[in-house]
């Protein structure tokens, strides 16, 4: 069983989008019984709120069902529950390392790190210095299209590895 937790800051944009996209992809692949997928945030400021209207609208346009979800904060006690904890940016990584005691089992990975370096995906996920770029937060950019492009590519690459 693959147990995946997607994480971003508030859990109303990127991680909820990733949860919905990944669920859609595993359902389409006929592999739903192999996965448990959830999402959470590193902050509690949006706890209890529904997904951002931009996320809802983008998923609707892409004909991807939105998972039933209300924002929540990730908890240290749930580390052992997940086989993989997938985050969106370096700030999420920093918060998760603090929350999960420096990730002793190496379960945490940036979403775009699943895209191979030699991929034709544009813009490239891997930067010239070898680091993996962040999935931009549409809360700040307002650009849910670019966020969706990155989330979809990252989830497809992740599923291909599983």
Q: Which residue has the tokens 């909820």?
A: 16
From 14, 38, 108, 150, the catalytic residue: 14
- Catalytic status, residue 89: no
From 8, 13, 108, 155, the catalytic residue: 8
Count of residues in the chain: 162
From 89, 134, 137, 150, the catalytic residue: 137
- Catalytic status, residue 149: no
- For residues 113 and 132, the answer to whether their CB atoms sit within 8 Å is yes
Distance (Å) of CA 32 to CA 9, 16, 17, 54, 90: 27, 18, 17, 26, 30
- Catalytic status, residue 98: no
Catalytic residue annotation: 8, 14, 137
């Amino acid at each position: 069983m693959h147990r995946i937790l997607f994480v971003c800051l508030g859990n109303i944009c990127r991680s909820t989008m990733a949860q919905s996209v990944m669920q859609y992809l595993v359902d389409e692949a006929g592999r739903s019984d192999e996965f448990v997928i959830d999402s959470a945030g590193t902050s509690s400021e949006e706890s209890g709120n529904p997904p951002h209207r931009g996320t809802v609208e983008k998923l609707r346009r892409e004909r991807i069902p939105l998972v039933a979800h209300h924002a929540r904060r990730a908890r240290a006690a749930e580390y052992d529950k997940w086989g993989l904890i997938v985050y969106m940016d370096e700030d999420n990584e920093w918060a998760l390392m603090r929350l999960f005691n420096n990730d002793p089992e190496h379960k945490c990975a940036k979403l775009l790190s699943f895209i191979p370096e030699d991929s034709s995906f544009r813009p490239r996920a891997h930067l010239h210095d070898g680091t993996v770029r962040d999935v931009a937060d549409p809360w700040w950019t307002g650009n849910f299209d670019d966020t969706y492009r990155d989330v979809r590519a990252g989830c497809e690459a992740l599923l291909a590895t599983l």
